[in-house]
Amino acid sequence: MLSSWCQYEALRYVSFPAVTLFKSFKLAPVMLMGKLLGNHSYPQYDYIVALFIGLGITMFMTSTDELTFDFNSYGEQTSAKWTGVMLLFFFLFFDSFTSQWQSRMFKRHRDLSMIELMFATSAFSTVLSLITLIHDGKLYPAFAFIREHSEIQFHIFIFSVCSTVGQLFIFYTIKNYGAVVFAIIMTTRVLISIALSVLIYEHKVTSTGFFGLAIVVASVAYRIKKKAEGRQLIKWKGFGARSEKEIELVQEWHEHIDT
């Protein structure tokens, strides 16, 4: 719930292309949480890729969203967009912790299926959100807004359907075609999302921003290439008996779910 709130709140301060590209940096916190919570080990190229992704995102955001380190005469930062950056870092932290914790649950409870885990997470998030709305006195204003602006009901419905179907397609793709194919799809999706946002909403991207975007894409492509070495592109299909492949599916699903 906290990761979703931080992600949506960040859009008030930074552009959609910046938020979309920033998700590519999820590799770093996922590795950190995996090391802390699961004592996982990662190949050296993952750390190098994470470094270059961070460099590319920095170049993109400093040029496109005009992030500056300037201070006014009162010692306050003149760019409110840093609030958005801070929220995005919180988003990555909460999301990475959740994914690694769920992966840990899946390992401990071998009878727990992926769909059950998704349903339970969504159910508890709904309850927590309801409690928060009631406590802050925003439940009635929220329903009043939906009633007064009836057109938003269709948008909420479409958003919910697309989100649910998207989660199931992600699960199905990794299960049937492996994480390498899915990583390629997600990289393409990031580029298309940024391109559509630039065309439709006329976000300005400088040459430095495009160069930073190229660094991120090249870094992700290099990681895909390294992961694909010595492996079949179509990795495996379907579930048999409970095996390590299912655990691998959970880990890969969490790693790529929000990129």
Nearest of 23, 54, 57 to residue 209 by alpha carbon: 57
DSSP for residue 258: T
Percentages helix, strand, coil for the chain (3-state, rounded to 5) are 75, 0, 20
249 contacts 16 by C-beta, under 8 angstroms: no
The CA distance from 165 to 26, in Å, is: 22
Tell me whether residue 144 is exposed, middle or buried, using C-beta atoms within 10 angstroms of its C-beta: 0 to 12, 13 to 18, 19 or more: exposed
Task: Note down the domain range covering 46.
Answer: 2-256
Verdict on whether the full-model pTM lies above 0.85: no
Looking at the structure of the chain, the number of domains it has is 1
Rounded mean pLDDT for each run of 10 residues along the chain, 259 residues in total: 90 89 85 79 89 91 70 51 90 85 78 82 91 93 93 93 86 72 80 88 86 92 83 52 52 53
State the number of CA atoms in the 13 A half-sphere of 82 facing the CB. 9
Half-sphere exposure of 15 (CA within 13 A, CB side): 25
Amino acid identity of residue 48, one-letter, is I
User: At residue 149, what are phi and psi to the nearest 5 degrees?
Assistant: -115, 80
- DSSP label at residue 25: G
Any idea which residue has 């990555």 for tokens?
A: 92
